[in-house]
């Protein structure tokens, strides 16, 4: 891994768990953030949401405190999504929150709330823009006017759009203090890399924010990681890969098989933006286990919430995050600063590791004693339950005698018998190895 990337991403690799917030005008139609494209709405048709936008309950401190309670270490807010509407007070457009009933620079309030709670600050910025007159329309893969023949022969000045887009990024990196993370979205087809004047953009960003970490979507997308996975990453390769709604089977590695930083971005239901009919929420158990899976493969997980039109995070999301937070409050040591284990994945769950400590994440009640696959009795110094610090009983017995190279533990008095797990979501054993 490139030395500069390694240095910049150190806090990120330690943090492991973050919150994504997709919020904007699309919270009013309440069927996801792509509604303008999906319904092929004109700017005039979409304008009514700008006129209606009035988030009377907006309180970013509540959002950030929920993230903290869930055990998240950083929060990323959509400063501008594909519809072009800005939550920040951009001097380059009138299409912004300060000109709605909100009357506020919503990004300013958000970054202040993050810093107050001691969480790292991230901003998402869409490099595509369906509102700007100089963005390609007819024939574009996803523009709302892609099928509208009225735009077939339209002359646009894409350089003028790039000046606007770069100018807005400059506003974000100069007007809001130190940013920890910039999340660009996204490249596609021939709209990638230098099409965005990406070298100039990143040079400008690094001039003002030398330590900010950046995702790989100025260059990569869902179908490739871009040059971050090569021996010679380009200046705009980004600092981490960004798989979406899928955990890579073996994590993310470069061409030499060396792990590189990555972050799963995932929704709690099936939409990023608020959707009032989508109640397909993932369970707290599933989310805990998916976070563990990411960490065990050397990655992070950023989990999304989509606040409603008034600025409230949906009740289901709040309840799930609080449940995840209860598990994290007892077991966070097995997540923060942890990564890929030297030992292969066990049948009953996963291992994460930090230095000489293995964290065994046990999902499945064993029949009798639990074998600590890959770990011999001679390697063990001590084993405790991470949740309460109590000692875990050893499980070697007459019926394990044939397997002397494997250490065993028991969840009850007699290792020959079967006992329920203390925590069915994920019981974590802290295994200290001998030096």
Helix 198-208 vs helix 158-175: crossing angle, to nearest 10: 20
**226 phi and psi, to 5 degrees?**
80, -165
- Residue 419 tokens read as 């006992």
Distance CA 229, CA 258 (A): 9
Rounded CA gap, 93 and 163, in Å?
13
Q: Can you read off the two tokens belonging to residue 131? A: 């509102």
Q: Which residues, at least 6 apart from 61, have a Cβ–Cβ distance to it below 8 Å?
A: 113, 116, 117
On whether the pTM is more than 0.95, the answer is: yes
- Domains annotated for the chain, with CATH where assigned, are 1-337 (3.20.20.80), 340-431 (2.60.40.1180)
**Dihedral sign, Cα of residue 174, residue 176, residue 180, residue 181:** negative
Distance CA(428)–CA(213), nearest Å, equals 31
Q: What tens-digit pLDDT sequence spans the chain (435 residues)?
A: 788 999 999 999 999 999 999 999 999 999 999 999 999 999 999 999 999 999 999 999 999 999 999 999 999 999 999 999 999 999 999 999 999 999 999 999 999 999 999 999 999 999 999 999 999 999 999 999 999 999 999 999 999 999 999 999 999 999 999 999 999 999 999 999 999 999 999 999 999 999 999 999 999 877 789 999 999 999 999 999 999 999 999 999 999 999 999 999 999 999 999 999 999 999 999 999 999 999 999 999 999 999 999 999 999 999 999 999 999 999 999 999 999 999 999 999 999 999 999 999 999 999 999 999 999 999 999 999 999 999 999 999 999 999 999 999 999 999 999 999 999 999 999 999 999
- Write down the pLDDT at residue 302: 98
Using CA atoms, how far apart are residues 222 and 338, in angstroms rounded to an integer?
Answer: 26
How large is the greatest C-alpha to C-alpha distance in the chain, in angstroms? 82
Q: What pLDDT score does 222 carry?
A: 72
Q: What is the pLDDT of residue 224?
A: 86
pLDDT of residue 86: 98
- Cβ neighbours of 242 (radius 10 Å): 25
Question: Using CA atoms, how far apart are residues 189 and 165, in angstroms rounded to an integer?
Answer: 19
DSSP-based three-state secondary structure for 16: coil
Distance CA 223, CA 428 (A): 35
Structure tokens at 262: 């990555």
Measured distance CA(169)–CA(164) in Å, rounded: 9
> Are the C-beta atoms of residues 222 and 242 closer than 8 Å to each other?
no
Q: Which long-range contacts (CB under 8 A, 24 or more apart) does 105-110 make?
A: 106/55, 106/58, 106/60, 107/77, 107/79, 107/172, 107/176, 108/176, 109/58, 109/60, 110/60, 110/63, 110/64, 110/75, 110/77
Model pLDDT, residue 223: 79
C-alpha closest to that of 104 among 53, 143, 142, 150: 53
């Amino acid at each position: 891994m490139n030395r500069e990337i390694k240095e910049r991403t150190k806090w990120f690799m330690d943090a492991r768990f973050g919150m994504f917030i997709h919020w904007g005008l699309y919270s009013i139609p309440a069927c996801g953030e792509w509604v303008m494209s999906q319904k092929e709405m004109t700017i005039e048709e979409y304008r009514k949401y700008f006129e209606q936008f009035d988030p009377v309950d907006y309180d970013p401190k509540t959002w950030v405190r929920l993230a903290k309670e869930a055990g998240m270490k950083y929060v990323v807010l959509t400063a501008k999504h594909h519809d072009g509407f800005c939550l920040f007070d951009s001097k380059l457009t009138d299409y912004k929150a300060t000109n709605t009933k909100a009357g506020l620079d919503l990004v300013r309030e958000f970054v202040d709330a993050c810093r107050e709670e001691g969480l790292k600050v991230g901003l998402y910025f869409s490099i595509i823009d369906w509102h700007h007159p100089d963005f390609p329309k007819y024939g574009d893969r996803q523009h709302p006017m892609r099928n509208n023949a009225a735009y077939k022969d339209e002359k646009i000045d894409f350089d003028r759009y790039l000046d606007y887009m770069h100018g807005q990024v400059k506003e974000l990196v100069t007007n809001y203090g130190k940013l920890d993370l910039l999340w660009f979205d996204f490249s596609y087809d021939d709209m990638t890399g230098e099409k965005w004047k990406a070298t100039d953009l990143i040079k400008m960003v690094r001039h003002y924010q030398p330590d900010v970490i950046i995702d790989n979507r100025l260059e990569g997308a869902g179908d490739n990681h871009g040059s971050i996975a090569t021996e010679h990453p380009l200046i705009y390769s980004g600092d981490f890969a960004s798989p979406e709604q899928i955990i890579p089977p073996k994590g993310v590695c470069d061409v030499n098989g060396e792990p590189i930083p990555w972050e799963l971005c995932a929704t709690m239901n099936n939409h990023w933006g608020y959707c009032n009919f989508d109640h397909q929420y993932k369970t707290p158990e599933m989310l805990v286990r998916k976070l563990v899976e990411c960490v065990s493969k050397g990655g992070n997980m950023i989990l999304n919430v989509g606040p409603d039109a008034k600025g409230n995070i949906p009740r289901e999301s709040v309840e799930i995050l609080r449940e995840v937070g209860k598990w994290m409050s007892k077991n966070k040591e097995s997540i923060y600063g942890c990564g890929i284990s030297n030992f292969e994945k066990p049948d009953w769950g996963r291992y994460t590791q930090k230095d000489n400590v293995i964290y065994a994440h046990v999902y499945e009640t064993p029949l009798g004693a639990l074998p600590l696959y890959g770990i011999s009795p001679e390697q063990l110094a001590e084993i405790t339950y991470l949740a309460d610090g109590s000692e875990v009983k050893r499980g070697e017995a007459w019926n394990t005698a044939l397997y002397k190279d494997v250490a065993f533990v028991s969840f009850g008095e007699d290792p020959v018998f079967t006992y329920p797990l203390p925590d069915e979501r994920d019981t974590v054993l802290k295994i200290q190895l001998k030096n």
